[in-house]
Chain A
Amino acid sequence: MAAPVTLYAAVDGSIVVDRLEKRYGRRQALEAVTFSVHAGEIVGLLGPNGAGKSTTLSILACALRADGGRVEVAGHPLPAQAGAARRALGYVPQREALYPPLSARENLRFFGRMVGLDGASIRGAIERALSLAALETRAEEPIAAFSVGMRRRLKLACGILHRPPVVLLDEPTVGVDPQSREYIFEAITALAAEGAAVLYSTHYMEEAERLCGRVVLLDEGKIVASGAPGTLVSDLGRAPVLKLHTLRALPEDWLSLLPSARVRGRSGLEYEIEVDAAADLPSVLLAAERAGVEIRDLRLRRANLADVFFALTGRALRDDPAGEA
């Protein structure tokens, strides 16, 4: 089972969200959302579309006012000290948030000046950012010609140009190639290593599990679970599932000799086999071979945060399950 919802009576950290409330008309967008992110920590904010992730990030980014609760960024309560909070923020929105007609250097220079960098500091920051985004050789080109991955790297570089103590990342890897994703992961990890508090909004479970020390699962404006990804998944107690795609149908009793494995479902020549432990997988494959059926494809699917979410809410974490692989 999933971990119980943790509501902090008092939270502290670089990011503090305490009983946050937000309404859009009659719709309750956020309800008593409470979590914190400490310096050097990467916390994942997970949830399906409309769960409240972007609203939470917008409130933290000082772009939106909360209707209730307490919010602090780098020790600055919002909205009272929004100016100071903004200076401490590095916000990487979900959208590209770059100027396509401008070059990478021009984009960096502009966003650097917007966060107060000037003179030598901005020149150094731009060079570091270009290096981080691996765009040194393309710095003078209009970014309209860049690939999606390059632009995502530049977007991240623009957001953290001034080395902010608090970083808000909203789906930073959507649509990027693996190479760019690795660049981004390295950058985020480095930020945390330097002491930044990173709030990472995503619906890529594997990213959250890989990067985040803790995750907060949101659904319909409420926190349904929070904690370390591994803990949440293990608390679910769900066995791995092996998906087999065969060239012809398996006989009905092909697993009769293997009690630790069970057919959970079948669609044509695709079989979902639930096993008690990963150690039973070879036996399943062996049973299929003994049945004389050739396997065309096989995939192992372990329980993950999506399963945790599904278990807690009865709904999928993403609208497009294909992306969850």
Chain B
Amino acid sequence: MILRALLAAFHKDLRLLLRDPVGLVFLTLAPMIVITVAGFSLASLYGAAPRGEESYRLPVVDEDGGPVGRAVRDRLRHEPAVAAEFVASRREAIEMLERREAGVALVIPADASGALAEGTRSTLLLLTDPVKYLEVANVRVLVEELRHALEEEGRRQAALKVAAARETGEAARREFTRVVEQARHETEALRARLEGARAQFEERKRTARERAEGSLRVLAAEHRRQVAERLARELAPVRSFLATLADRRQAFEDWFAALRKVAGQRAGDIPEPPAPPLVPAELTELASADPEVLVVRLLGPVEGQALPELADFDLPRIALPSPIELPAVPEAPPLGMSGSLDIDEQSATGAPRRLNTFDQNVPGFSVTFLLLGMLLGVSLALLDERDWGTLERLRSAPAPLSVLLVAKLGSRIVVGMVQMLLLFAVGRAAFGISLGPEPWSLALPTLGIVFAGTTFGLVVAGLARSRESVLPLGSIAIVTMAAVGGCWWPIDLEPPWMRTAALAFPTTWAMTAYNDLMIRRQGFAAALRPTAVLLAHGALYLAIGLWLFVRREGRDG
């Protein structure tokens, strides 16, 4: 029963909304008009129109006429924020400023290219109209980027030359090292060859000596043999005589002994025979000696026989060069120009550095008009119900009043979601807004702000007793929440205390989520916390609104 009542009330409220074409147009067309106007009006706030439809005229005087001038021309041609117009003279540029056709003019001085090439200073000149502060500031930033880029290019070129020179020197050093190393190797080889030759000579000399000594020894042995043979031959008669002598002596002694024996008793009387001459022992020894021994005795032992001294000779001493020890050739130190402290701007989230103004304005003004539609729509619709008397009648219906309110809020939420979907779709098609890496995640903060805005409408309806009080009360609430919450301009333009105070508003959380998703290009996780806060806001408003509304309707009945 309650569910049927809820659905019936939901359909009824949708029908009521659809029967109000002006209101529907208000929900979609009006915000698109405001978004368009605000987007183009505030484009310069962010530096440029998103698609370069509108850009600052920038007179450029190229007194240099060199590479710097050409580089400036090339770079400005691709810069959407300015429309560079090259003029002939400073006078012509100043006249454009005086006619207020431009707020800034850029002069490239005559020495710019030379100074840059020589590493000396040169100064780009900005002629400005101080009244056009924002234009001056934006162009100043652009020129600063341009100057930085030119310097960087000059440094890059110089660094390339230094690197080439260093590479050449390094190649020469490597060749020198190679040649010296080769010489060292060849010297070492020569030294080795010399030492080899000397060793070979010594070996040959030793072999020759040994061979000569061998020959001498053979000759000496032959000589000994011949001497021994000669001795044996020469001593043979002696030896024979001595043998005969010995035999005769023995025979004599035997005869004599026999004589004595014959002499019997008288043997004593026999006188001693005359002693034969004694053979010198040396002769006996000589005759009986081995010829070899005699050879040794005569010539000495073989071992002690001195060979004739061979003539010795030697190679002349050649002083070999000492091994070459090359001192280490130091590598060339890295050469380069003194670096400058550069600033490189990178988006921390991968978002482009140039902001599409509509990335801020489409969600901002969509939220504003969403609040207008939801907050005023809900409160005025409830006032309509009171004025028409339908609320009074429905209070006697079986379904609780809260069901009717929830159905009304539900239908508004559906309309709000569709409204936001349309506005984002138009924003994408017409202004190329970013939908972030996960477009579906935009539904999270959208649901949150639609819920919060709708339920806040119930609070307003509970507080305001008439249309005359709804409009100022709702308008004040919407304007405050939208402006302070960053719907109309980046919240970072506000002072810190106001940004802190803005956390109390649902718009702040919605814009935080939209900026994170659309501009900072973060994923859906970035939208979870803001969405949770928005839903909490909505739940709080719902509780307060129901309490206020039911309490007042009960009392007023």
Contacts and interface: CB of A to CB of B under 8 A. Distances in A.
Interface string A50-72: 00000000100111110000000
Interface string B379-414: 000000000111011111111000000000000000
A86 B396 contact: yes
A89 B394 CA distance: 11
Interface residues of A, number: 35
Contacts of B389: 93-98
Interface stretch (B1-9, B182-190, B341-349, B506-514): B1-9
Given A101-B15, A102-B16, A111 B396 contact: no
A91 interface: yes
B397 A86 contact: yes
A9 interface: no
Contacts of B557: 58, 63-64
Contacts of A63: 392, 395-396, 557
B20 interface: yes
Contact of B20 (A89, A95, A101, A109): A101
Interface stretch (A114-122, A188-196, A248-256, A264-272): A114-122
Is chain B's binding surface mostly helix, strand, loop or mixed?
Answer: helix
Contact of B398 (A92, A115, A118, A159): A115
Contacts of B16: 99, 101-102
Interface in B513-557: 554, 557
B19 interface: yes
Contacts of B390: 97-99
Q: Quick one: which of A58, A64, A98, A168 has the most chain B CB within 10 A?
A: A64
Given A83-B398, A99-B16, A102-B12, A118 B4 contact: yes
B15 A64 contact: no
Contact of A110 (B12, B396, B398): B12
Contact of A159 (B1, B393, B554): B393
A86 B5 CA distance: 14
B388 A100 contact: yes
B398 A93 contact: no
Interface string B9-33: 1011001100110000000000000
A14 to B, nearest CB: 15
A95 B392 contact: yes
Contact of B388 (A64, A89, A98): A98
B396 A91 contact: yes
Nearest to A88: B398
Contact of B19 (A93, A118, A142, A168): A142
A115 B397 contact: yes
Contacts of B397: 86, 111, 114-115
A95 B388 contact: yes
A109 B4 CA distance: 12
Interface string B284-318: 00000000000000000000000000000000000
A94 B399 CA distance: 21
Contacts of A62: 395-396
Contact of A64 (B5, B12, B393, B554): B554
A123 interface: no
Given A98-B388, A100-B388, A101-B16, A111 B393 contact: yes
27 contacts: A61-B396, A62-B395, A63-B392, A63-B395, A63-B557, A86-B398, A87-B398, A89-B396, A91-B393, A92-B393, A93-B392, A95-B388, A95-B389, A95-B392, A97-B390, A99-B388, A100-B388, A102-B15, A102-B16, A109-B8, A110-B9, A113-B8, A114-B394, A114-B397, A116-B1, A118-B4, A142-B19
Interface of A: 58, 61-65, 83, 86-87, 89, 91-102, 106, 109-111, 113-116, 118, 142, 158-159, 168
